[in-house]
Amino acid sequence: MIPEIERVLFTEEQIAQRIREVAREISAKYQGRELKLIGILKGSIFFLTALAREIDIPVKFDFLAISSFSSQKGAPGVVRIAKDLDESIEGEDVLLIEDIVDTGFTTRYLLQNLAGRAPNSLAICTLLDRTTQRIVQVPVEFRCFEIDDRFVVGFGLDYKQLYRNLSYVAILKLNEPRR
């Protein structure tokens, strides 16, 4: 373990186990159909690839990158698409893959944007869900873990772009406010 880590919240094995369970739920729910996984760069890449390998129905992927700005410290960020999907999602069953749903602003923006492209269905799957910080309500259909207010890194999640490559999810030894 690296020195900047205070505590491991979810080990590599626990994450793999939950991903298998969630992949089973997803495979059952979309049985007989084809699924488009949309990964939000960069936080969701490890989760998306691990999940996709455990899903046993046909899947395709596409990726979106977003940037969020906050005009005032602590104010909700304005979300903008920095890299759009490569392909249309019209008529497809779409699962939005997130690293974490926190206030819900990012997810709500993405849901509204993608809903406007006429998919057959649209749902959210997140590795982590921090429901205590929710400001706007979003329907999270699949989640691996619920977490509390401490800032976490690893398995795709970053602090200043670092720590994404940790194989576990951990609490960092810093106590700055989030973002």
- Contact residues for ligand IMP, defined by CB under 6 A: 43, 99-107, 151-153, 157-158, 178
Measured from the Cβ of residue 87, the count of other Cβ atoms closer than 10 Å reads: 10
Which residues inside 122-161 make contact with Mg ion, applying CB under 5 A?
158
What values do phi and psi take at 95, rounded to 5? -120, 120
100: partner contacted, choices ligand IMP, Mg ion, none (Cβ within 5-8 A by kind): ligand IMP
Q: From the CB of 30, what's the least distance to ligand IMP, in Å?
A: 24
Per-residue DSSP letter, 43: T
CB nearer ligand IMP, residue 23 or residue 128: 128
Query: Nearest Cα to 60, choosing from 25, 29, 85, 28?
Result: 85
In the set 102, 148, 149, 158, the catalytic residue is: 102
Q: From the CB of 32, what's the least distance to ligand IMP, in Å?
A: 31
29, two tokens: 């729910």
Q: Indicate if 56 belongs to the active site.
A: no
CB nearer ligand IMP, residue 94 or residue 128: 128
SS (H, E, C) 44-90: CHHHHHHHHHHCCCCEEEEEEEEEEECCCCCCCCEEEEEECCCCCCC
Q: From the CB of 151, what's the least distance to ligand IMP, in Å?
A: 4
Query: Nearest Cα to 119, choosing from 140, 97, 89, 95?
Result: 89
Q: From the CB of 17, what's the least distance to ligand IMP, in Å?
A: 21
173: partner contacted, choices ligand IMP, Mg ion, none (Cβ within 5-8 A by kind): none
25, two tokens: 């739920």
Q: Is the Cβ–Cβ distance between 35 and 55 less than 8 Å?
A: yes
63: partner contacted, choices Mg ion, ligand IMP, none (Cβ within 5-8 A by kind): none
Among all residues, which ones are annotated catalytic? Answer: 102
Positions in the binding site for Mg ion (CB under 5 A)? 158
